[in-house]
Amino acid sequence: MGYSHMAIPAGLVPPMCFCGDPCKLEMSDEEETFRRRYWMYANRAFDPPEKALMEETIEPPPLCDFEEWIDKEVKEKDREWFNELRDWNAKINAGIVARKKEEEQRNERIVEEKCRAAAKRKAEREVKLARAKRAKAALEENPDALRKGKWPSGWLGVKRCSAEI
């Protein structure tokens, strides 16, 4: 049962808890007892830090387990409200799942694009490496070609057309 402290309405007198203190008024947030009011023990085994109360992470154990229901049945409008909340949460969760799926697909596309780009760069490097090997081989055959500016045709793997010359 969650914390939802309520002010005690006029005309209601809080009963005494087993430990001798007056009870506090709470409202249930569970499905079977949604928005039903009940009296609950006010004392806890220790005081949780303020932040823990806000986040509802720590709920200290009670000193006694006194609970007495004020509302005996869940009202129809409260049941409808709870069903609407449940449906809304289901839609939100479905949207979250759909967004995660879209994000995974997008990430897969990005990874594929990166792999294709890496393969393309690797192929370009292999072509350039082969071109460099041919150039070195041609330079070893004719060491003066570089100094004299004589480039054999096809030396760099690029064929010149007669219009350029």
Q: Where are the chain's structural domains?
A: 1-72, 75-141
Give the tens place of pLDDT for each residue, 18-68: 777 788 888 887 777 787 788 887 766 666 666 665 666 666 666 777 777
Residue 30 to residue 67: CA distance in whole angstroms: 15
CA distance 34 to 41: 19
Widest Cα–Cα separation across the chain:
112
Mean pLDDT calculated for residue range 96-116? 96
More confident residue, 154 or 144: 144
Q: Which parts of 24-160 are beta strand (E)? A: 24-27, 37-40, 67-69
Two tokens, residue 11: 């005309």
pLDDT for 60 equals 66
Instruction: Answer yes or no: pTM beyond 0.85.
Output: no
On the CB side of 136, how many CA atoms lie within 13 Å of its CA?
6
